[in-house]
Amino acid sequence: MCGIVGYTGPQSAATPLIEGLRRLEYRGYDSAGIALGTSNKLFVEKRAGKLANLESALGQVPEVHSGIGHTRWATHGGPTDRNAHPHLDNEQKLAVIHNGIIENYSELKAELQSAGHTFHSETDTESVAHLLSDLRKKHGGDLTAAMREAVKRLRGSFTLLAVHADTPDLIVGVRRNSPLVVGLGDGENFMASDVAAFIEYTKRAVELGQDEIVTITPNSISITDLSGKEITPREYQITWDAAAAQKGGFTHFMLKEIFEQPKAVADTLIGRLIKEVIALDELKLSEAELKGLQKIVVIACGTAFHAGLVAKYAIEKWAKIPVEVELASEFRYRDPLIDKNTLVIAISQSGETMDTLMALRHAKEHGAKVLAVCNTNSSTIPRESDAVIYTHAGPEIAVASTKALLTQIVATYLIGLYLGQVRGELASAEVKDIYNQMLELPAKLEQILETVEPLRELTRKFADQNTVLFLGRHVGFPIALEGALKLKELAYIHAEGFAGGELKHGPIALIEAGTPVIAIVPNTHEHGLDEKMLSNIQEVKARGANVIAIASEGIEILGATHVIRIPSTSQLLQPVLAAVPLQVFAYEMAVARGTDVDQPRNLAKSVTVE
Ligand code: AGP
């Protein structure tokens, strides 16, 4: 939530700042603003609304070489010009931008107001600008020392960047429970919430730990802890290229990311079976620890939670360990029955979701080991976990998750296979067989995407509907939930996902003539699953529903008005294929209804507040 970028170097700073904000706009788009460090005074412009509003307001920008920029997802104070960042001190010489929440801001504000500071916004952030201003004076103009002391006074989660007109080419940043990375250029340096902001200029990045203060100038970087002790920068190479963070000819990032799914799944799977053994080299837990596991708890939010629900079926089947799946935002309020024999799997695309991070810490406090499934290198969640399996989806820019879901499901399948093998529940031949079926998924995804046009055309016929229901059984149930989430967030349509068996316990009352119902038909006859789902189709059809069935090739479907075919695979792997038509359905509905596909209202990609 909120995107932050800082630049110092030879370029006219407005260019990398605006470009960086464009790449970070997925993090929040309620307002945008920049502060440029000219000597003696700052140039500041900020506007409510999207980055485009700021760009049209900017006009002639001074040719200066450092500055900070912000794109906001509002928490304290509505999305207005006044509440937009940067926020300034009384002299208008010090500017601050912020991602997160300063929990004790009202206490600080009262103290600063009685010391003569005048506030102009309703934000929590402005108190930091005034506080830093006083502390900078106390420290003889040393902004880094001021930041070090300020941070000790702050409670909550934050990434902060500050610049002062008297030292215009110097930018100071800090992070606590919120992301910040440094980009190392040639005679220029960057800071940002995400490497996407500066990937066009450099692939060298430095990760920052909790409460580390970083100061950059064009030719230097210095990191210290809160006591002022120097910390050696931990440099890493960014593996994504600039093109991965651009639309590449697609009308929306979401559509591009839907079409990237075959590659994302293939990249996540590649090289994971070596000599008949699943190889998870990032899994640093000993075999003894894995054999002693008595329970797995998956914690995640939103789409990642749905991946966790799918994982439960696979891991329980293959590894014979009980799996609970918990919303991270609820898990931390419980006294969970977990201990050192529990493995907690934290699933997160961004690796920064605050609810998941807090749940992870709660699990560790209770003695559990944590394994992260994550897409973002060196982000907070994997850093704080005992082990990590990275999904290789590449950057996901659209707010609505697509390739993250598929790669998360695939990564948890690998965990299930590995645990099954280590615990002696699966023979090598079985593992090899399932892994080989997984290797066929990318080609099957290609097949779905090559034949997606009729579905897009069909979807447009439903554009004026206000309710859509999704039904699934077994692993189809989490996919029904995901289909409904996609439609809500993208097309602002009331959508709900139900387990087919629950229909008769209440939801069937929602069906009236013409209600669209999307039914995911299982791939298996085991437990009579397919027949039961076909009965559900008949039940809703009898009450007037307009049924779209998502079904594997070769299964006869009676009662559905439309049938969307997906290639056949085993039942447990079906979610990887069945999710795709639902993503396309939601995408096309959003386009037809004219909503903002990549940046839906009220949302942000990386949810770094609780
Ligand atoms: C869904 O389309 C959203 N992007 C959202 O539900 C997301 O999955 C959730 O906020 C969790 O994000 P994470 O994977 O980055 O932790």
pLDDT digits (tens, 9 = 90+) for 82-103: 999 999 999 999 999 999 989 9
Query: What residue has token string 């980055």?
Result: 51
* 604 pocket-lining for ligand 1 (C-beta < 6 Å): no
Residue 473 phi/psi, 5-degree rounding, is -125, 155
CB 336 within 8 A of CB 366: yes
Closest CA to 44 of 25, 28, 57, 53: 57
What does the block give as tokens for 263?
A: 């590659």
Task: Judge if the beta carbon of residue 608 lies within 6 A of ligand 1.
Answer: no
Q: Is 310 in the pocket of ligand 1 (CB under 6 A)?
A: no
314, amino acid identity: A
Atom 5 (ligand 1) nearest CA: 302
353 Cβ closer than 6 Å to some ligand 1 atom: yes
Q: Give the Å distance between the CA of 65 and the centre of ligand 1.
A: 36
Virtual torsion, Cα 286, 289, 291, 295, nearest 10 deg: -140
* Ligand 1 binding pocket mutation candidate from 178, 194, 607 (most atoms within 8 A of CB): 607
Q: What angle do CA 579, 584, 586 make, to 5 degrees?
A: 95
Q: How far apart (Å, rounded) are the C-alpha atoms in residues 569 and 551?
A: 11
The dihedral through the CA atoms of 543, 574, 323, 406 has a sign that is negative
Instruction: Check if 407 has its Cβ closer than 6 Å to any atom of ligand 1.
Output: no
Q: What is the pLDDT of residues 205-248, one digit of tens each?
A: 998 988 999 999 999 999 999 999 999 998 999 887 777 777 87
Angstrom distance (rounded) from CA 213 to CA 145: 9
Nearest-CA neighbor of 207 among 187, 183, 239? 183
Q: Judge contact between 319 and 423, C-beta under 8 A.
A: yes
Residues 306 and 294: their CA atoms lie apart, in Å, by: 23
Cα of 428 from ligand 1 centre, angstroms: 34
Query: Residue length, the chain?
Result: 610
Which 3 state secondary structure label does DSSP give 98?
A: strand
Q: Which of the residues in the chain have pLDDT under 70?
A: 281-283
Contact 376 CB / ligand 1 (< 6 Å)? no
| Consecutive H or E run containing 588 | helix 574-593
Pocket test residue of 306, 401, 485, 490 for ligand 1, highest count of atoms within 8 A of CB: 401
Write down the residue that tokens 């998941």 correspond to. Answer: 356
172 has which bridge partners? 162, 215
Which residues contact residue 431 at a Cβ distance below 8 angstroms, ignoring those fewer than 6 apart? Answer: 273, 276, 277, 278, 417, 420, 421
Distance CA 86, CA 375 (A): 30
Main-chain dihedrals φ then ψ at residue 121, nearest 5 degrees? -135, 175
| Residue 59 CB neighbours (<10 A) | 7
Specify the pLDDT at position 281. 57
pLDDT at position 12: 95
CA of 603 from ligand 1 middle (Å) equals 10
Amino acid identity, position 67: G
> Do 185 and 220 form a contact (C-beta atoms < 8 A)?
no
Q: What are the distances in angstroms from CA 407 to CA 321, 344, 558, 604?
A: 22, 19, 32, 21
Question: What pTM was computed for the model?
Answer: 0.81
User: Which residues are CB-contacts of 87 (< 8 A; sequence separation ≥ 6)?
Assistant: 95, 96, 97, 98, 120, 121, 123, 125, 126, 128, 129
Give how far Cα 587 sits from Cα of 187, 241, 491, 594, Å. 43, 26, 8, 11
For residues 351 and 381, the answer to whether their CB atoms sit within 8 Å is yes
**C-alpha 169 chain-centroid distance:** 32
Helix (H, G, I), strand (E, B) or coil at 476: helix
In ligand 1, the atom with minimum distance to the C-alpha of 302 is 6
Residues identified as active-site: 2, 605
* Residue 556 Cα to chain centre, angstroms: 38
Show Cβ contacts of residue 351 under 8 Å, excluding neighbours closer than 6 positions.
Answer: 372, 374, 375, 376, 379, 380, 381, 382
Q: Check: CB of residue 68 under 8 Å from CB of residue 31.
A: no
Q: Bridge-partner residues for 550, per DSSP?
A: 520, 564
Cα dist from 202 to 242, 271, 293, whole Å: 10, 29, 43
Q: How far apart are the CA of 127 and the centre of ligand 1, in A?
A: 30
Ligand 1 atom with the smallest distance to the CA of 405 is 8
Q: How many C-beta atoms surround the C-beta of residue 145 within 10 A?
A: 18
